[in-house]
Structure formats: structure tokens, C-alpha cells
């Protein structure tokens, strides 16, 4: 039997709080998704003004980051024609804005943002993680 | 041109707060989804212990209730062989636990719950709506 | 942060060993799937002669049992027109042959069988669980 | 009428044994899938620590290799904009890590690995084939 560490709902709320605050600071209403280490959705928030088309995108970014334990922009860098990773974008999200959440050496989940530019999405995801690190118990 | 009334993120948070409180009261951790009047997800929460298989089910219930402006258990009652509604269960959720949210005569969204029995899911959805009615501005 | 107990690969192998032995005993080559508590596939085996159409069915049964923590035949019993559960068969498997795997009070995964009659599938799933209980560490 | 040669379950077990051993040697827990010459899954194993996001990817690689009788990295090399093969990545896996299994001049199945780099995935797939060649009857 295995023992697994994963994000709970209070962790997801902190991640979203931190990401939302940064989204407010830069003036871009976002879709924010948090998944556990198995890729299953824990929490989602569409800020007022967040794009309807970003609802699924944010979730796919979070899924990729949490279940594959890798930032979506890292997949993006490798997913170019001629690279053996090319093609993975049909199965996972390679659009910047998804970050894995690590606790020591365990990937315990992922956060995905969508509605801004990829750089804005990444910055909000990172702000969520920073806030979680500072406040979770 | 149309002017549409719809739930915002603060409304969704109230709906979830009320539903979560009832779920805690009856001791059943739930997946809770809120959509707007177009059927698009606004917010989602999987309480610690909510079932992974309920993530999609809760969202489909909320989608049906908000976009079709009808409780899923009302579809359920009509969705019996021989009734001309039968078959709709392949396109919409007819499992009890999804309720439309009305503001005066406008359907402004929907709430869907999953992880308990349909009766428990319905009760939590109603508790969310009651809480929202009492507190939204 | 949450701590989760789940089946590992050695557990999945035991579950399959027990199910396969019963399938051999009754002379019905089976598709056998084991998932973890999040519904994600751990192991799958199609015995020589197992039906190609059962590959997905066995996995869906295991997913339902593990992620929803309920035997598929229990869903089947409730999933009749007029019951508020009716319709769930479009999202989860309600075909007999999927059983949750419990360790004390935790659902740690699920096993699903397909290729025989539902009663045969259920008997093999139970044989897998019995074998696992007797041998896992 | 046709007579088809295909991998059986004992072959799939050998392929997985060889692939798993190499995965252990390089320290990367893998998802390992084996399909028959029709592309249908025979066996699957997620080693403890294998990525949840690799469950489907490994199966798609095996499917492509077995049913299209070509290594996924060969498709990858051709799947570049301007080449008439480009676009096939939306239907088949072109991510390195899937190898067809040949018996004399017949493609009898395929093996697909995922969780490492494509080069690691390919090396494990090849190790599985080498082990099978050395031990199958």
C-alpha cells in the first residue's frame, strides 16, 4: 500500500487567494484551477470578467502540471517539431500558465491559470504558490 | 442588444458557502459546482473526502440546471421510457442534485452537488440557494 | 495537506492474480483492471481469449468502483427509471463487475472485470479482493 | 480467411518484465503498455511513482506502434510542417517511446512507455523487446 501526500481544500483556497491577488494587481481577471497530485480538480474560480474559453484551458494546465509534475512552459520549450517530445500537446497542455506544486520532494498538485498572456498566467500561478508556501500549515 | 443578468463570483462563493455548511452538517463531503446562466463554470470546490468520480457529475448537474433552467430531478421524473423526454439523459444530467438559481423571473445560473445520495445532494444545493438569497446584495 | 492511502503495483498484481485464478477455474478468459483511489489505472490484463470490447468496460467498472467507492451492481440496482439516480449510467459504469477495495475505512482503489456474465465478473472481482486480503502486507 | 499472429498475455508479461527492469536500472518509474497487432490493449502496468498523466500517453504510444507498425519516433521525425505526414500527431502518438514488436516479418504488437524523457522511454521499450526475444517460446 502507498501513502500519498496531496493538497487539500484549504491548500487550494490559499493557492487561489494568492493567484487572485496578483491577477487583481495586474488588472487581468483570470480563470484559476487547482488539482491534486492525481490530476483531479480540487477547486476552480472564474473571476468576474474571466474568459469563458479559459475555463477548460486553466483546468488542462493545472492537470498537466500536477499529474506530469512539470510546468507547462517546460513542455512548451521541448514541444517543437523535430524534438521527440513534439506531439505531446495533443495530450497535455503545453501552454504557459501551469505550475506543479511541490512539498519537499513530492509533487502534491498543480495550479493552472488562463485569461491573460502566458507570462501573466505564469506570474499569477507563481504568486499562488508563493502565497501558499508562506501560509499553509 | 440584450442585457443579461448572471451570477458573479461573489454569488458563487455564497452558494458554495451555504451548500458546504449543509454538507458538513450531514457529514457528507461534497463536490460543489456553480455555473452561470450560459452554463459556464464559475466556481467549483471538492471538499476533503469528496469523490473523484463526482467532479464531473456535479458540474454536469450544475450545467443542466443553469443552462436548461430546470432542476435535474424534474428532468429525472420525466425521463422515463415512453415519455417524449426520455433520452435527454444522454445530453443533460437527470440525476438529482442540480438546481437552477432564479432572481425574480430570470434564471441567473445553477448549482450542482455530488457525492451523497440524490436527496442529500438536492438538500445541499437548496441550502446553497437559501444562503445566497439571504446574503447576496 | 492530506495523507492518502492507496493501492500500489504489488497490491494490483495480487488483485489480478486472485481474479485470474477464479477466471481460469470457471473457464472464462477475462479483462481485469485495477485503479487507485483517484480512479487512475494501475494495472490491466487481458487474458488470452478475453474480449476486445471488454478492455474499456473493465476499466470503466474499476474506475467507478474505486473513485465512487461503490460496487457497480449497487449503482445498477438504483439506476432504474423514476429513481433519482437514473442517468448516472451515462457517467459511471453501472454494469455488474466492479468492486471497491477497502482497507479498514479507506477506499484504496477498485477492481473491474469484463468478458463473462455480470455474475461471473463480480465473482472474479471478489476472488481478487479475497486473494489480496489474504496475501498483502 | 486470415490467420493472424499476435502477442499473447505471456508475451506481454515478458515485454513488461524487460521494460520494468530497465526502468528500475535508470531509476525512473514508468507507465508500460502492451497492445496486440490490432492495437488493442493486452497489459498495462504503472510502476509505483509512474505519472498519472502517462497512463494514456503510454497506451497511445503502444497503440500507434502496434497498429501502424512503426516506432513513434519515426513518425516524429516525419511529422514536421511541410512534410505530408504532418498532422498525423492529432490521430497517432508521435512522441518517442513506442516500438512495434516484430516476429519474423509480422508485426505482432507494440509496446509504449511514458514517464521519463523520450530517450529513456525508448530505451525501456527496447529493453522490453530484447527481453522478450531472449525468453519467449
Which of B52, B94, B117 is nearest residue C87 as measured by Cβ atoms? B94
- Contact present, C and B (at least 3 Cβ pairs less than 8 Å): yes
The structural domains of chain C, ordered by start, are 9-132 (3.30.450.150)
Q: What is the mean pLDDT of chain C?
A: 98
Q: What is the pLDDT of residues D88-119, one digit of tens each?
A: 999 999 999 999 999 999 999 999 999 999 99
Q: What is the pLDDT of residues B10-48, one digit of tens each?
A: 999 999 999 999 999 999 999 999 999 999 999 999 999
Do A68 and D53 make contact, defined as CB atoms within 8 angstroms? yes
Q: Tell whether the model's pLDDT for residue D137 goes beyond 90.
A: no
Residue C121 sits at the chain A interface (C-beta within 8 Å): no
Per-10-residue mean pLDDT of chain A, 137 residues long, equals 97 98 98 98 98 98 98 98 97 98 97 98 98 94
Spell out which residues of chain A touch residue D80, defining contact as CB-CB under 8 Å: 81-82
Distance from CA of C49 to the nearest CA of B (A): 31
CA D40 to mean position of chain CA atoms: 12
Q: What is the mean pLDDT of chain B?
A: 97
Do B55 and A46 make contact, defined as CB atoms within 8 angstroms? no
Residue C55 sits at the chain D interface (C-beta within 8 Å): yes
Q: Tell whether the model's pLDDT for residue C137 goes beyond 90.
A: no
Can you tell me the mean pLDDT for C33-42?
98
Whole-angstrom CA distances from C5 to A108, C8, C109, C137 are 14, 9, 9, 14
Whether the Cβ atoms of residue D92 and residue D79 lie closer than 8 Å to each other? no
What's the grid cell of residue C68? 465512487
Which of D80, D95, D119 is nearest residue A82 as measured by Cβ atoms? D80
Work out how many CB contacts closer than 8 A connect B with C.
57
Nearest CA in chain C to D29: C9
Q: Alpha helices of chain D — where are they, by DSSP H?
A: 9-26, 54-68, 72-78, 118-135
Residue A41 sits at the chain B interface (C-beta within 8 Å): yes
Which of D9, D46, D52 is nearest residue C43 as measured by Cβ atoms? D46
Spell out which residues of chain A touch residue D81, defining contact as CB-CB under 8 Å: 81
List all chains that touch chain D, counting a touch as 3 or more CB pairs closer than 8 Å.
Answer: A, C
HSE of A7 in the Cβ direction (CA atoms, 13 Å)? 36
Spell out which residues of chain B touch residue A66, defining contact as CB-CB under 8 Å: none
Which of C2, C5, C40 is nearest residue A1 as measured by Cβ atoms? C5
Can you tell me the mean pLDDT for B85-97?
97
The percentage of chain B sitting over the pLDDT mark of 70, rounded to a whole number, equals 100
Residue A106 sits at the chain C interface (C-beta within 8 Å): no
Nearest CA in chain D to C13: D45
List all chains that touch chain C, counting a touch as 3 or more CB pairs closer than 8 Å.
Answer: A, B, D
Residue C45 sits at the chain A interface (C-beta within 8 Å): no
pLDDT value at residue D72: 98
Mutate to test the interface with B, among A20, A45, A56, A109 (most CBs of B within 10 A): A45
Do B96 and C90 make contact, defined as CB atoms within 8 angstroms? no
Spell out which residues of chain C touch residue B94, defining contact as CB-CB under 8 Å: 86-87
| DSSP-derived secondary structure for chain C | -EEEEE--HHHHHHHHHHHHHHHHHHT---EEEEEETTS-EEEEEE-TT--TTHHHHHHHHHHHHHHHTS-HHHHHHH-STTSTTTTGGGTS--SS-EEEEEETTEEEEEEEEESS-HHHHHHHHHHHHHHHHHH--
Residue B89 sits at the chain C interface (C-beta within 8 Å): yes
Whether the Cβ atoms of residue A63 and residue A91 lie closer than 8 Å to each other? no
Other Cβ atoms closer than 10 A to A86: 23
Mutate to test the interface with C, among B47, B51, B54, B82 (most CBs of C within 10 A): B51
Confidence category of residue B137, pLDDT binned at 50, 70, 90: confident
Strands C98-103 and D41-46: unpaired
Which is nearest to C4 in space by CA: B33, A132, B52? Answer: B52
Amino acid at each position: 500500500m502507498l501513502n500519498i501526500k496531496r493538497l487539500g481544500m484549504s491548500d487550494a483556497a490559499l493557492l487561489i487567494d494568492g493567484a487572485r491577488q496578483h491577477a487583481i494587481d495586474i488588472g487581468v481577471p483570470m480563470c484559476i484551477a487547482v488539482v491534486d497530485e492525481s490530476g483531479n480538480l480540487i477547486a476552480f474560480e472564474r473571476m468576474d470578467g474571466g474568459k469563458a474559453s479559459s475555463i477548460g484551458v486553466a483546468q488542462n494546465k493545472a492537470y498537466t502540471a500536477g499529474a506530469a509534475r512539470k510546468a507547462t512552459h517546460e513542455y512548451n520549450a521541448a514541444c517543437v517539431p523535430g524534438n521527440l517530445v513534439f506531439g505531446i500537446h495533443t495530450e497535455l497542455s503545453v501552454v504557459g500558465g501551469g505550475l506543479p506544486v511541490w512539498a519537499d520532494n513530492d509533487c502534491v498538485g498543480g495550479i493552472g491559470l488562463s485569461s491573460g498572456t502566458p507570462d501573466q498566467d505564469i506570474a499569477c500561478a507563481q504568486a499562488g504558490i508563493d502565497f501558499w508556501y508562506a501560509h499553509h500549515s
